Structure 1
């Protein structure tokens, strides 16, 4: 079995000798970031795909959550690294196509050293070569792991997708109700908050 590769410590010679991971946020920066992380996402960030039993699964696309992370933490305020990958299966079909599944642990590190990790999964079915199968599965697993790690920081980075009541209500909100954060429109869904039952 492949041994997990540990990423080099931030600020080490291996990572370029810089101080990333040891740069503190100011009190003002921390308060602004915390405020942004608590916000919910608007309907313009919600994509859907088919799920089991004819259900619909809501999710955020990878490029959108990367843009949001850049806006929340700053383009130089966060980083991500592949902690480990593991191939779960590689099968060849009778017609010579390759099916492959793999998992990937991703770590997201903020400039002050705060980090979150989660596991992502990727698969390829029907690829014509192992190279194509690995390329698709690795990218999918890394993107999935990145999204899952980022969501641990707060609602605006995808954690709101785990709130079933929010998902139910967000579909009722017109996409025009947005308020800008940086250069990205992030919805502050007052109408959703008002329609949610009191806890």
Structure 2
């Protein structure tokens, strides 16, 4: 009886190899051949699962998103039932920021993917949808007016802090202090406005 092949597992193996290559050498080093070598499989197998580099990149980014979502879900679950919105947002952002070895590796891939899509907008379709969804979720937790714009600003801060952390510009304590300061502004200002 032929062995049953788990196609998702194979694709994930290839995506993990792509992420290791990208994290070590940058996206310019990512090719079907390099990824196949890193995964310990043939180039033909990589081409069987991914016809193009864009397909391979999009799948790798989906894996990063799934990992981030799993980490965030676990961290938020530890907060208990109905955590305060500020705490929920802080927990989510701290979990996503590249503060651990695992999240740094994923962060390097995400940053490389963003740069890749800057010159290939068609490759960013899924990412744009995710960004809209995340902005809407963050906006739903913010008090006061202009929630959508404030959520976009908060996400831009998080992305910028992530880039600075990956580049070694800020230590973790400074990045977290900047995040806390912005959350304080968002929640204190609107709290004062709502109370008045």
TM-score normalized with structure 2 length: 0.27
Higher helix share: 2
Higher strand share: 1
TM-score normalized with structure 1 length: 0.26
Bigger relative CO (Cα 8 Å, ≥ 6 apart)? 1
